[in-house]
């Protein structure tokens, strides 16, 4: 972790059980069309989190979050956000922005059993999810403002009995 910005460009990233953090800055990761594995890993910023050019993003029991005022922007072919024990006291499978918007742009599938969240406390923020493949949700996707889905393909959309879609304002 650093007090400044973190900028990373690699042909794939494995942050399993790792920590990438910007305590007073932003995190920018370009996976150059490689995979990004964040199994029980944590990537956190306080002024914006951007992860882009990922072929497959695996956030099993991991945390991808902006903890202060920044937006979270993720661009990937596919995303698995799977709930699980991050450590003894914290659940992982979390993608969250505290006071900024959350934008997911996926050309392929979204498989979520964890938490995808935009805005906490009294800050109303929009979550926008552009999904080009199958949508399978058994977790929670929520926003304190609008929750916007754009399904770009004709693939299956499944919000299971345990899946929750919650919007403070509009759900579209």
List, for residues 107-126, the tens digit of each pLDDT value. Answer: 999 999 999 999 875 666 88
10 Å CB burial of residue 21 (0-12, 13-18, 19+) is middle
* Main-chain dihedrals φ then ψ at residue 20, nearest 5 degrees: -125, 120
List, for residues 52-101, the tens digit of each pLDDT value. Answer: 999 999 999 999 999 998 999 999 999 999 999 998 888 999 999 998 89
The pLDDT score that the predictor gives to residue 88 is 87
Q: Which of 37, 119, 52 is nearest to 82 (CA)?
A: 37
Q: Tell me the C-alpha distance between 75 and 56, whole Å.
A: 10
Q: Share the mean pLDDT of the chain.
A: 93
Q: Tell me the C-alpha distance between 82 and 140, whole Å.
A: 11
H or E element in which residue 57 lies:
strand 49-58
Count of C-beta atoms within a 10 Å radius of residue 23? 14
The pLDDT score that the predictor gives to residue 125 is 81
Q: Which of 133, 57, 123 is nearest to 95 (CA)?
A: 57
Record the pTM: 0.95
């Amino acid at each position: 972790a650093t007090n400044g910005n973190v900028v990373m460009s690699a042909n794939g990233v494995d942050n399993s059980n790792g920590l990438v953090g910007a305590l007073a800055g932003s995190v920018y990761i370009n996976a150059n069309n490689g995979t990004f594995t964040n199994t029980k890993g944590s990537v956190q910023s306080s002024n914006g989190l951007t992860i882009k050019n990922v072929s497959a993003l695996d956030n099993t029991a991991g945390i991808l979050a902006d903890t202060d005022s920044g937006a979270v922007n993720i661009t990937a072919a596919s995303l698995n956000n799977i709930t699980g024990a991050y450590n003894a006291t914290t659940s992982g499978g979390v993608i969250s922005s505290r006071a900024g918007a959350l934008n997911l742009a996926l050309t392929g599938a979204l498989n979520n059993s964890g938490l995808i969240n935009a805005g906490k406390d009294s800050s109303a923020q929009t979550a926008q999810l552009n999904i080009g493949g199958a949508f399978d949700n058994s977790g929670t996707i929520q926003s304190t403002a609008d929750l916007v889905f754009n399904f770009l393909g004709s693939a299956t959309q499944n919000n299971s009995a345990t899946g929750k879609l919650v919007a403070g304002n509009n759900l579209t």
